[in-house]
Structure 1
Amino acid sequence: MAVDAHQHYWNPARGDYGWLTPQMTALYRTFAPADLAPLRAACGVQRTVVVQAAPTVDETRYLLDLARHDDSIAGVVGWVPLDDPHAATLIAELAREPKLRGVRPMLQDLPDDDWIATANTARAVDALIAHDLAFDALVFTRHANALAAFLARHPALRVVIDHGAKPPIADGARHEAVDPAWFQAIARLARFAQVHCKLSGLATEAAPGWSDATLAPWVAHLLASFGARRVMWGSDWPVLNLNGDYARWHACAQRLLAPLTDEERAAVFGGNAARFYRLARMD
């Protein structure tokens, strides 16, 4: 089963996407399963994991409602206020939905880079573990120390780093080198056995006109650090449309991962996401 481990659906009219403004003309419209279906089909992708794009429980319910009516949505990564005293109760309620597979707190947008290390999230994390839910970490290099402290406290929590921690690929292209701070942060986070990483979002971080050669050293470090069994391919569609398209990124990733064995490629392009997110089989 080929799985896109990271994509989004949204409707700007819902009004809770603070980052999504009319000036973002390529993204400021509704993106729904029918829009992605032909792109998935052309690349042989059967199912997806849809990830929250607004820090609201209402958007999580919106995504879960979409998932109820579309078999291609294998799982939903939603949002909950992890530091709320009632977060555990809310997680238990949402976990009744069989397609809720994890949560994401949008760490990159928080004013405090150390929030994940200092906030009182223990009860919420215990609830995630109890309900077998995962945690998506949307971070930059600057969050690595705080995330490492959080990971050390919660070794039973399954965590995946979104978009390879958003490396500064555009800067790297100018300097003809992989950023050393990012390089070290990825190596450090990969030492935690419960952590996976998404091979997604890299095109967005590159300068326009990116190629296989642009992304190759960054992909190589992610694979060397996490291994083929802890990396999962995702499109980050429709954000991907800002600097690429679905078919182009899928084909690029296929070429960059060509040296892997057939079994390893199958894992990256579906098997790892299915195992990590505990996705149900599609008969």
Structure 2
Amino acid sequence: MRVDSHQHFWQPARGDYGWMPKDDPVLSRPYFPADLAPFLKQAGVGRTVLVQAAPTVEETEYMLGIADATPAVAAVVGWIDFEDGSHIRHLERLKKHPKFAGVRPMIQDIPDVDWMLRPDVQWAYEALLDLDLTFDALGFSRHLANFLAVFKRYPKLRVVVDHCMKPQIRDHGTAREELASWSEGMRRIAGETGAFCKLSGIVTEANPGWTVDDLRPYAEVVLDAFGPERVMWGSDWPVSRLRGEYGDWHVAAETLCAGLSPADRTAIFGGTAARFYRLEG
């Protein structure tokens, strides 16, 4: 069965999506399972991983409620406050839910690039290790060196890099330099740690009117460095709607992976995510 390793549902009226533009015609509207269901059916996707979009425990509980009522949602990646050690109680409590997989701090939105290295947040990585939960790494190319340091510090942490670490594909003026530095950082993470990577989110880092060839150099680095056994496809829907519909990115990803063996494509479009997130069935 195909797995979408990264999608979102949200209700802006909840009031905790601080990053969301107030009047964006694509983003600032509710998205529920019924909105996604036709696209999953069209793409042959049977299970998804629902990922946090607000920095609150309350949103995590909201998502788990959706997961309880939605068979297609196989796992939930939530959020806890890494700066508050008392939040270990939330991890311990949420761990008991059969669909709770792990957490994702919204590091891309934190001004301090060294935040993840601060002594006061290290308890959270240790707790994820102790509880055998996952860590979704969300950031940009500028975070690659620090993520490498964290992953090497906690080599048994179950880590997946979100959205290929968001290379800035749209910046044609610096694209060559960006590709080189991003590629080096990603290859080091792949070669020196056991981290996985989501083939997701790159269309929103490209220009409007992107083509598969715009994405290809970045996808090739990820596939070559991590290998299909550590790469999982994700839609990043509905954020991906900023650059196209669900099927547009799904078809593009299939095209990018067309030269791989059937077994490798099966891994990327389902098997790797099922193994990493320990999806049942």
Fold conserved between structures, TM > 0.5 = yes
| CA displacement at 1:22 relative to structure 2 | 2.1
Aligned pairs (5 A) from 1:102-113: 102-113=102-113
**Structure 2 residue matching 1:77: 3-state secondary structure:** strand
**Structure 2 residue matching 1:41: 3-state secondary structure:** helix
Counterpart of 2:137? 137
Counterpart of 2:188? 188
Any conservation in 1 of the 2:151–2:193 contact (CA below 8 Å)? no
- The structure richer in helix per residue is 2
* Letter of the structure 1 residue corresponding to residue 103 of structure 2: V
**Structure 2 residue 163 is the aligned partner of structure 1 residue 163:** yes
Q: Once the two structures are superposed, what CA deviation does each residue of 1:82-109 show, in whole Å capped at 9, x if it has no partner?
A: 2312122221011111101110001100
| CA displacement at 1:265 relative to structure 2 | 0.3
How many angstroms apart in 2 are the aligned matches of 1:175 and 1:152? 28
**Structure 1 residue matching 2:170: 3-state secondary structure:** helix
How many angstroms apart in 2 are the aligned matches of 1:177 and 1:207? 17
Q: TM-score, normalised by structure 2?
A: 0.96
* Letter of the structure 2 residue corresponding to residue 255 of structure 1: T
**Structure 1 residue matching 2:111: 3-state secondary structure:** coil
Residue 175 to residue 186, structure 1, CA distance change in 2 (3 Å): closer
| CA displacement at 1:175 relative to structure 2 | 4.8
How many angstroms apart in 2 are the aligned matches of 1:178 and 1:124? 31
Question: Which structure 1 residue ranges, 5 or more long, are not aligned?
Answer: none
**Structure 2 residue 218 is the aligned partner of structure 1 residue 197:** no
Number of aligned residues = 281
Question: Which structure 2 residue ranges, 5 or more long, are not aligned?
Answer: none
Aligned pairs (5 A) from 1:173-184: 175=175, 179-184=179-184
Any conservation in 2 of the 1:172–1:178 contact (CA below 8 Å)? no
> Runs of at least 4 residues of structure 1 off by over 4 A?
172-178
Any conservation in 2 of the 1:173–1:214 contact (CA below 8 Å)? no
Q: TM-score, normalised by structure 1?
A: 0.96
Any conservation in 2 of the 1:115–1:146 contact (CA below 8 Å)? no
How many angstroms apart in 1 are the aligned matches of 2:173 and 2:206? 8
Residue 192 to residue 102, structure 1, CA distance change in 2 (3 Å): farther
* Letter of the structure 1 residue corresponding to residue 85 of structure 2: P
| CA displacement at 1:176 relative to structure 2 | 6.3
Identity of aligned residues (%): 48
**Structure 2 residue 49 is the aligned partner of structure 1 residue 56:** no
